[in-house]
Amino acid sequence: MDPIGLAMSLHRALEAGESGSALRRFFTADAVTVEHPNLVKPPGARSSAEEMIANSEKGAELLSSQKYDVHSAVVSGSTAILRPTWTGVLRDGRQLVAHIAQFVDTRDGLISAIETFDCYEPF
């Protein structure tokens, strides 16, 4: 699968409510995620594949739904560069919106790294 298709498949799985071990099929064993500082994680974060899986379960507990609207996407080598708007609805009905620049590195048909710059709208 091409890098954009792989990134979009991950987005669709998250939108469908998948979390935890169900997401392993998208990632290399040594995958990492880098989140640059933002309103939700002011210091930013770096997570291993195992931490990503655990974090997805925590997110699923907090959210009743989430959606990725990808406005543009390009490929550079094995990297998909996407510009999505993410909308998450918390279980209490409040909505979070983030405008994102996302870089998804792939290797052997799997995601090896995700780097995100998340700009959240005011809560």
Name the pairing type of β-strands 95-107 and 110-120: antiparallel
The residue type of 99 is H
Residue 25 has pLDDT above 90, yes or no: yes
pLDDT band at 46 (very low <50, low <70, confident <90, very high): very high
Examine the pLDDT at 45 and tell me if it is beyond 90. Answer: yes
The kind and range of the H/E element at 98 are strand 95-107
Q: Which residues neighbour 50 within 8 Å (Cβ) at sequence distance 6 or greater?
A: none
pLDDT confidence band for 102 (50 / 70 / 90)? very high
Residue 67 pLDDT > 90: yes
Quote the pTM value.
Answer: 0.95
Average pLDDT over residues 8-13: 98
| H and E: helices and strands count for the chain | 2, 6
